[in-house]
Amino acid sequence: MTDQDRRPRVVLGVGGGIAAYKACEVLRQLTESGHSVLVVPTEAALRFVGAATFEALSGQPVHTGVFDDVPEVPHVRIGKDADLVLVVPATANLLAKAAHGIADDLLTNTLLTARCPIMMAPAMHTEMWEHPATRDNVATLRARGVVVTEPASGRLTGADTGKGRLADPFELVDLARLLLRRPDALPRDLAGLRVVVSAGGTREPLDPVRYLGNRSSGKQGYALARTAAQRGAHVTLVSAHTVALPAPAGAEVVRVGTALELRDAMHAVAPGADIVVMAAAVADFRPTDRVDYKIKKTDRDPDPVALTRNPDVLAELVNVRKPGQILVGFAAETGDNGADVLEHARAKLKRKGCDLLVVNAVGEGKAFEMEDNAGWLLSSDGAERSIELGSKAYMASEIWDAVVSLIHN
């Protein structure tokens, strides 16, 4: 067996829409992260991006028809050998063909023969996405276990704007890697539920240039919002200083800066939510006095900065929550001379009164600003379990599984 064979095998189907050019970025990210990717475009897709581009990026030949390499029986072999079939973009035409079992080219044959997870990322004009025929086709595919992702909202072809834009390539690759690790990670078990997630780190201004803050990147909160939307939830993401991260497809984003702004936003949206997740790293203190000019550096020692304690947003939300609402908190902990990480976390869970507490051991090279994460899930009923190291999307899927279990129980 060669190194090529040992790598996860992904079939990247490319539909004939203008978003086909974004499939090149998906392809690049997958190959650079160690995946073997075979591109299977439609004939229409090759009118947007040439076969040479896909071959150069993947290192593998590109075919579209079932009569290419006939002795290899590609229309059966490709789907059977794949670990994941990812279609980017999935046009309205491709969704319709897949839903009705039409197999008139290599890609649609592959969709019928694949026995691995299939993920289709739609991209089309809003009117096409919202058409009853498309909605029925999407529902049919999802009922069969196909992951049809939510499209993003934004600029479409020409001057049009609306829902139907292809989700960001980074997001699609993140979800694809999640499915390769956990094929059951994106069920539609949050459909009909309203979810609020906070993410990022607040900044407390001292002057127009300086602030007190923390190292939170917001990646875990965004992964929670992203996976919740793909599991069917209506998601509101309250985001503090995460401009470098693409907005999760299917989520409404409310941007805030300071702890007080985050507090106001959470109190505004949480009452309508079934589930609230406080993943943001809220600064514990803020400067008591903020000046409107840059404080100059002088030869004398600087004046001490007086601090005021910020409100405990999670505890406030617990105190005012509606009956049946589930609250999830986060704890970034380090051990010290008095207790270890889990002992501190257990005490925090008792103080906060939330239903679940996600615990991360933080420090150099751990949790903050990292692509992967690990930790523990503590429940108010005393149950505890660890979450092994994996992508932040993987941790998010484990957290949502625990939340769904609470709902069912």
Query: For 347-372, what is the HEC assignment?
Result: HHHHHHCCCEEEEEECECCECCCCCE
Query: Do 230 and 324 share a domain, yes or no?
Result: yes
Q: Kindly report, residue by residue over 160-174, the tens digit of the pLDDT.
A: 888 999 999 999 999
CATH number of the domain that residue 232 is part of: 3.40.50.10300
| pLDDT of 3 higher than 50 | no
- The answer as to whether 34 is a domain residue is yes
Q: Is residue 388 included in any domain, yes or no?
A: yes
| Whether 273 and 230 share a structural domain | yes
The end-to-end CA distance of the chain, in Å, is 47
Structure tokens at 226: 């992203």
In a domain, 188, yes or no: no
Tell me, yes or no, if 409 is annotated catalytic.
no
For CA atoms 203, 269, 190, 361, give the dihedral sign.
positive
- Domain match, 92 and 209 both: no
Domain count, the chain: 2
Residues 6 or more apart whose CB falls under 8 angstroms from that of 189 comprise 231, 232, 400, 404
- Decide which of 195 and 351 is more confident: 195
Please identify, among 149, 181, 213, the residue that sits at the C-terminal boundary of a domain: 181
Q: Check residue 76 and give its pLDDT.
A: 75
Give the pLDDT mean for 82-94: 97
* Nearest to 123, CA basis, from 77, 82, 169, 159: 169
Chosen domain end from 127, 154, 181: 181
In this structure, the answer to whether residues 112 and 205 fall within a common structural domain is: no
Q: Is residue 187 part of a domain?
A: no
H helix runs in 148-297, sequence order: 169-181, 219-230, 259-269
Is residue 203 within 8 A of residue 212, CB to CB? The reply is yes
Lowest mean pLDDT among 233-237, 249-253, 280-284, 301-305: 301-305
The token duo for 303 is 């004046």
Pairing of strands 9-14, 36-41: parallel
143 located within any domain? yes
Higher-pLDDT residue of 138, 246? 138
Tell me what the mean pLDDT of segment 94-109 comes to.
96
Q: Is the dihedral of CA 87, 174, 183, 229 positive or negative?
A: negative
**pLDDT at 178 exceeding the cut of 60:** yes
Give the model's pLDDT for residue 304.
85
347 vs 25 pLDDT, higher one: 25
Position 294 pLDDT exceeds 80: yes
pLDDT at 65 over 80: no
| CATH label of the domain that carries residue 173 | 3.40.50.1950
The mean per-residue pLDDT over the stretch 269-293 comes to: 93
Catalytic residue among 93, 109, 137, 214, which?
A: 214
pLDDT number for residue 50: 95
DSSP-derived secondary structure letter, 115: -
Confidence band of 1 (pLDDT split at 50, 70, 90): very low
Q: Confirm whether 372 is domain-assigned.
A: yes
Contact 399, 328 (CB under 8 A): yes
Same domain, residue pair 137 and 207: no
Q: Are 11 and 110 in contact (CB under 8 A)?
A: yes
pLDDT of residue 360: 86
For the chain, give the longest Cα–Cα distance: 83
pLDDT greater than 60 at residue 5: no
In a domain, 189, yes or no: no
Specify whether 278 is located in the same domain as 234. Answer: yes
Query: What is the band of 74 on the pLDDT scale with cuts at 50, 70, 90?
Result: low
60 with 166, same domain? yes
Q: Are residues 21 and 151 in the same domain?
A: yes
pLDDT at 62 over 90: yes
Do 143 and 286 share a domain, yes or no? no
| Mean pLDDT of the region 187-207 | 95
145's enclosing H/E stretch is none
- Same domain? 276 vs 301: yes
pLDDT band (50, 70, 90) for residue 73: very low
* pLDDT mean over 257-276: 97
211 in the same domain as 174 = no
Q: Are residues 162 and 213 in the same domain?
A: no
Domain end among 121, 154, 181? 181
pLDDT at 92 over 50: yes
Rounded Cα–Cα distance for residues 99 and 294 (Å): 61
pLDDT attached to residue 118: 98
- Write down the mean pLDDT value for the chain: 90
Q: Exposed e or buried b for every residue in 147-157, given b needs 16+ CB within 10 A?
A: bbbbbbbeebe
Record the tokens describing residue 141, joined without a space: 């595919």
Which value, to the nearest 10 degrees, does the dihedral of the CA atoms of residues 201, 165, 403, 407 take? 140
Average pLDDT of the segment spanning 103-112 = 94
Residues 88-111, buried b or exposed e (16+ Cβ, 10 A)?
A: bbbbbbbbbbbbeeebebbbbbbb
pLDDT above 60 for 286: yes
| pLDDT-wise least confident of 20-34, 183-197, 296-310 | 296-310
Task: Return the higher-pLDDT residue of 240 and 79.
Answer: 240
pLDDT by residue (tens digit) across 314-356?
999 999 999 999 999 998 877 677 678 888 888 889 999 999 9
Residue 94: inside a domain, yes or no? yes
Q: What is the pLDDT of residue 364?
A: 56
Which tokens is 190 given?
């949050």
Give me the domain span that covers residue 8: 3-181
Going by pLDDT thresholds of 50, 70 and 90, the confidence category of residue 156 is: confident
CA 87 to chain centre: 18
Cα-trace Rg, the chain: 24
* CA atoms of 211 and 170, how far apart (whole Å): 30
Which whole number is the average pLDDT over 375-391?
92
At 58, list the tokens.
């993947």
pLDDT at 333: 77
